Amino acid sequence: MKNGNLITAEALKEQGLTYVFGIMGHPVIDLALTMQSVGMQYLGFRNEQAACYAAQAYGYLTRKPAVVLCVSGPGLLHVIGGMANAQVNCWPVLVLGGSCPEDHEGIGGFQEWPQVEASRPYCKYAARPPSAALIPLHVEKAVRLATYGRPGAAYLDLSATLLKQNVDESKIAKVLPCPPAPLSYPDAKLIERAANLLIKAKKPLVIVGKGAAYGRAEDQVRELIYSTDVPFLPTPMGKGVVPDTDERCVSSARTYALQHSDVILLLGARLNWMLHFGRPPRFQNDVKVIQIDLCAEELHNSVPSAVAIQSDIAPATEYLANALRSRKWHVNRNHPWWKELVAKTEQNKQSVHQMSMDTSVPLNYYTVFKHIQDVLPKDCIICSEGANTMDIGRTILLNNLPRHRLDAGTFGTMGVGLGFAIAAALYCKDNAPKKRVICVEGDSAFGFSGMEIETMFRYKLPVIIIIVNNNGIYGGFDQETFKQIQASGDPTQVTPPFSLTANIHYEKLMEMFDKKGYFCTTVEDIQQALKLSFKVFDGPSLINIMINPQADRKTQQFNWLTESKL
């Protein structure tokens, strides 16, 4: 005989799942212990939302979902924020939620809540197995649906009744491990149409998206870029599919490239808010889009595509590169289009360089990021969140490897940083023990999940946390101004909504663990703190960098969030 706890744990193990992230409690206490007993690795978090952020980031890095384990009612409610983020971001994750005994339903059971119905809008699959004997069938289906097609979240509801149920071993459903997701191949005629369109383009541009990174398409995408000399732009998490340092990368001329391109090849990128919907004024009225995406429903979204190809990115890009090579097409570096892009790139780089050379105190964003970039290992994984911190940081903190940048993503979620960093650190521990994880946080963003620093200590994860502290959301006030504001009346009436308490010493959190954090106000402070932090391998480090509360990004031609023009 086996009970539901053991059946669940063994079913997860049979599907090749390794990590479980969550917070244990009624009714999943025994399940958490059973998971460890069958060889799964359990990490207890301080907040369920952070646990779900970590699990989905691990799924993105490995293409295999991690498990989130949560208690009933409010435990699952906390997780739903993470499920929504995974679903919008298209990352695989499997959530297991305990729920109240079935004979308590409808009469006010402890933490009773309609959990399957509540989860359904935020995932691809939500179900409660009708009996413990069928748990393996539902676990396999949840893993399959979370990973096949466009990845996303799956939810299984495990009532206390189900987990305690004993079943004769011969009656337990037998299922095989879920095979890897099948590859989708492109229509050859559409590849030819795409090649013809690129060959006729006067100002072609490739946009490399997160889908190319998740699809392990870096070899094919690099071959396309290298063999054609076509300029490219990465989306935030498309960074590193082709190295940011490659001379064909025109990120420094992003606005100019988008505005003037006549043919754009989208590789696993969506024309949503992050790409200004593919519409004017950020794009030409008559721009022609070649769209390659795994998800057929994404094709023609926002604007009609001239060529829309439903396929995995790797085979479609390989076929397209071969078609262009056979016709000996490439964009000559003396072409007027390249000269325009190079001129704009140099102009913008000079502007950023000037700001980054200003070492006066208080520091600005550009100076801080330049001196961080100068010492970062070339192969480190960078996790980042925050408003200006994330947006400016992604332009200066470079990635030369795919899947080495994790940030707030398509949903723009704050609070993801430390969970993402934990997942990245586990991935490094298993695959590249010497690789470092850098978690760059705005002070407001850090506040969402700052106690996960204790989780990092408990599991000895060597994450370097850098807080870029401007005393607020987008910006705050210096200490003297903040005191004057608060003294002028009721704080709820006079303190601006974007303001946080000035000069918070976040680095003192390290003292709870008998460790030392670093408070930095100068470039020399930053350099010394990083030097010492890179020597730590048995737990996290924390560097708190005070910058000018009024520091901002360089003047932009457009607001970063473009209105949709219908």
CA distances in angstroms from 96 to 52, 75, 165, listed in the order given: 11, 11, 17
One-letter amino acid for residue 466 of the chain: I
Indicate the class that CATH gives domain 188-344: alpha beta
Asked if the bond preceding 281 is cis, omega within 30° of 0, the reply is yes
Q: Which residues pair with 439 in a beta bridge?
A: 383, 465
The 3-class secondary structure across 271-302, one letter per residue, is: CCHHHHHHCCCCCCCCCEEEEEECCHHHCCCC
Reference 543, options 530, 553, 524; nearest CA is 530
Nearest alpha-carbon partner for 443 in 398, 506, 396: 506
CA dist 172 to 34, 156, 219, Å? 17, 17, 43
Rg (the chain; Cα; Å): 25
The answer to whether 90 touches 146, Cβ cutoff 8 Å, is no
Please check whether residue 446 is in contact with residue 118, taking contact to mean a CB–CB distance below 8 angstroms.
no
| Strand 518-520 versus strand 381-385 pairing type | unpaired
CA distance 281 to 473: 28
Give the closest residue to 72 by CA, choosing from 29, 12, 13.
29
pLDDT score at 552: 79
Evaluate whether 463 touches 421 at the Cβ level (below 8 Å).
yes
DSSP string, 494-562: HS-TTB--TT--GGGGGGGGT---EEE-SHHHHHHHHHHHTT--SS-EEEEEEB-TT--PPP-SS-SSP
CA dihedral angle for residue 402, residue 236, residue 43, residue 166, rounded to 10 degrees = -90
Cβ atoms of residues 348 and 255 within 8 Å? no
- Check if the beta carbon of residue 54 is closer than 8 Å to that of residue 423: yes
The gap between the terminal CA atoms of the chain, to the nearest Å, is 62
CB neighbour class for 526 (10 Å; exposed up to 12, middle 13-18, buried from 19): buried
Fill in the DSSP letter of residue 24.
-
Q: Is the dihedral of CA 211, 215, 216, 222 positive or negative?
A: negative
- The answer to whether the beta carbons of residues 466 and 372 sit under 8 Å apart is yes
C-alpha separations of 167 from 99, 104, 127, 130, 501 in Å? 20, 22, 20, 13, 57
CA angle 316, 322, 323 (to 5 degrees): 90
Sign of CA dihedral 326, 328, 330, 336: negative
Could you tell me where in the chain the CATH 3.40.50.1220 domains are found?
A: 188-344
Secondary structure in 3-state letters for 54-96 = HHHHHHHHHCCCCEEEECCCHHHHHHHHHHHHHHHHCCCEEEE
| Distance between CA atoms of residues 52 and 48, nearest Å | 6
Region of 403 on the Ramachandran plot (φ > 0 left; ψ -120 to 50 alpha; else beta)? left
- Residue 300, amino acid: H
Q: How far apart are CA 24 and CA 28, in angstroms?
A: 6
Fold exhibited by the domain 358-546: Rossmann fold (3.40.50)
- Dihedral (Cα; 390, 122, 9, 24), 10-degree rounding: 70
Q: Name which of 403, 439, 312 is nearest 60 in CA terms.
A: 403
Residues 6 or more apart from 328 whose CB is under 8 A from it?
none
Give start-end residues of each CATH 3.40.50.970 domain in the chain.
2-171, 358-546
Under CATH, what is the fold of the domain 2-171?
Answer: Rossmann fold (3.40.50)
Check residue 260 and give its pLDDT. 98
Q: Tell me, what's the pLDDT at 561? A: 66
- How far apart CA 364 and CA 346 sit, in angstroms, is 21
Q: What is the pLDDT of residue 559?
A: 63
Output the six-digit token pair for 434: 């010497």
For residue 362, cis peptide bond before it (omega within 30 degrees of 0): yes
Helix, strand, or coil (residue 563): coil
Beta strand 2-3 with 166-167: parallel, antiparallel or unpaired?
Answer: antiparallel
In a structure prediction context, what are the per-residue pLDDT tens digits for the chain, which is 566 residues long?
999 999 999 999 999 999 999 999 999 999 999 999 999 999 999 999 999 999 999 999 999 999 999 999 999 999 999 999 999 999 999 999 999 999 999 999 999 999 999 999 999 999 999 999 999 999 999 999 999 999 999 999 999 999 999 999 999 999 999 999 999 999 999 999 999 999 999 999 999 999 999 999 999 999 999 999 999 999 999 999 999 999 999 999 999 999 999 999 999 999 999 999 999 999 999 999 999 999 999 999 999 999 999 999 999 999 999 999 999 999 999 999 999 999 999 999 999 999 999 999 999 999 999 999 999 999 999 999 998 999 999 999 999 999 999 999 999 999 999 999 999 999 999 999 999 999 999 999 999 999 999 999 999 999 999 999 999 999 999 999 999 999 999 999 999 999 999 999 999 999 999 999 999 999 999 999 999 999 999 999 999 999 999 987 665 555 656 664 44
From the list 127, 139, 135, the residue with the least C-alpha distance to 171 is: 135
